[in-house]
Amino acid sequence: MQLGQPSRTALATAYARAYHQIAGEPRIFTDPLAVRIAGITPDQLADLETTKYQDDTDMRRRRRLFLAARARFAEDTVADAVAAGTRQVVILGAGLDTFAYRNPHPDVRVFEVDHPDTQEWKRQRLDAAGIELPSSLIFAPVDFESQTLAAGLAAAGFDRRRPAVFVWLGVIMYLTRDTILDTLRFVAGQATPVRLVFDYIYPASASKGEEMDQRTARADLVASIGEPWLSFFTADEIANVLREAGFDRIDDRDAPHLVAGYLGIEPRQGSIAPPHVLCAMRTG
Ligand SMILES: C[S@@+](CC[C@H](N)C(=O)[O-])C[C@H]1O[C@@H](n2cnc3c(N)ncnc32)[C@H](O)[C@@H]1O
């Protein structure tokens, strides 16, 4: 992230979630606040997601469906955890995520953790959009690279001795490996059962041909706005890392299977190294 600036990739994913609500594509994820928090009109959203990028409309649609599917997967996991008795939700690197403002579980506390610059910007956006802050929401500003999650959450009143569900979407690729490993160990050390949902991307060497070109273009784009991808994993590698950290159950899905599962269709063939989302759990 650029010093003193909120995350620009957070705005890009918020635009994609917002356009998913109005695009007329199969709806995987419903978020009635997504367009409001995006802060631009439906026409402007359509312009950004389609007209400007006519060449890669199909790629953008696939990306949008994946972003919708990962959000759905996370919120389904939260609902499962709550049904099983968990009362603390932690959204790590929340960006413009709106779960906390739609939280359907009245006795569940939601901790939004984000870089202080992004969090300050989000609060201004919430205010501008007239979105109220529910009493169940607690903000915890933390720079993962220079501050500890433990201290940030403790200061916010988070209880380490009670189960929790952590959601960490679209973040770990922007962090250093040491920070990711520290965070995984912290989450695994939570009172059980603890669940963690996050997504990750494969190393560039796993892609080929057109997929490699698209990946390179995306990597260049995020680097050019000061948020370069720093960390990559394969499914085997992340599974080993998670087991070493103490997690004992892993449900890992690649993007085509995740999206197809929600749409009730066959997975799209041909992706060599699509992004993955997983739910890791430590049960005891
Ligand atoms: C691509 S956005 C994803 C936002 C949101 N989770 C979503 O899915 O829309 C990346 C998020 O990671 C956060 N982030 C990146 N580096 C960070 C750091 N060092 N400390 C805290 N948050 C960070 C950004 O502030 C931003 O909210």
What is the per-residue pLDDT across 29-60, written as a single tens digit (0 to 9) for each? 999 999 999 999 999 999 888 866 556 778 88
**Ligand 1 atom with minimal separation from the 96 CA:** 9
What's the CA-to-centroid distance between 269 and ligand 1, angstroms? 30
Edge-first strand listing for the sheet containing 249-254: 137-141, 109-114, 88-92, 164-168, 194-200, 276-282, 249-254
Q: Ligand 1 within 6 A of 197 CB?
A: no
In the chain, the percentage of residues whose pLDDT exceeds 70 is 98
**Ligand 1 atom with minimal separation from the 67 CA:** 8
- Give the CATH superfamily of 8-282: Vaccinia Virus protein VP39 (3.40.50.150)
Pairing between strand 249-254 and 137-141? Answer: unpaired
- Tens-place pLDDT, residues 10-31: 999 999 999 999 999 999 999 9
- Tens-place pLDDT, residues 107-134: 999 999 999 999 999 999 999 999 999 9
Type of residue at 87: R
The structure tokens listed for 219 are: 């990597």
In this prediction, residue 56 carries a pLDDT of 75
Domain ranges of the chain: 8-282
**Ligand 1 atom with minimal separation from the 91 CA:** 6
In this prediction, residue 6 carries a pLDDT of 87
Q: What residues does 278 pair with on adjacent strands?
A: 198, 252
Q: Ligand 1 within 6 A of 143 CB?
A: yes
What's the CA-to-centroid distance between 17 and ligand 1, angstroms? 15
Residue 97 scores a pLDDT above 80? yes
Q: Ligand 1 within 6 A of 82 CB?
A: no
The residues, ordered by sequence, that sit 6+ positions from 198 with a Cβ below 8 Å of its Cβ are 167, 168, 169, 171, 172, 277, 278, 280
Q: Ligand 1 within 6 A of 171 CB?
A: yes
In this prediction, residue 211 carries a pLDDT of 87
What's the CA-to-centroid distance between 61 and ligand 1, angstroms? 22
Residue 158 scores a pLDDT above 80? yes
Average pLDDT rounded to a whole number, residues 217-238:
96
Q: Which candidate, 209, 190, 197, 211, places its Cα nearest to that of 256?
A: 211
The residues, ordered by sequence, that sit 6+ positions from 281 with a Cβ below 8 Å of its Cβ are 193, 194, 195, 196, 247, 248, 249, 250
What's the CA-to-centroid distance between 47 and ligand 1, angstroms? 24
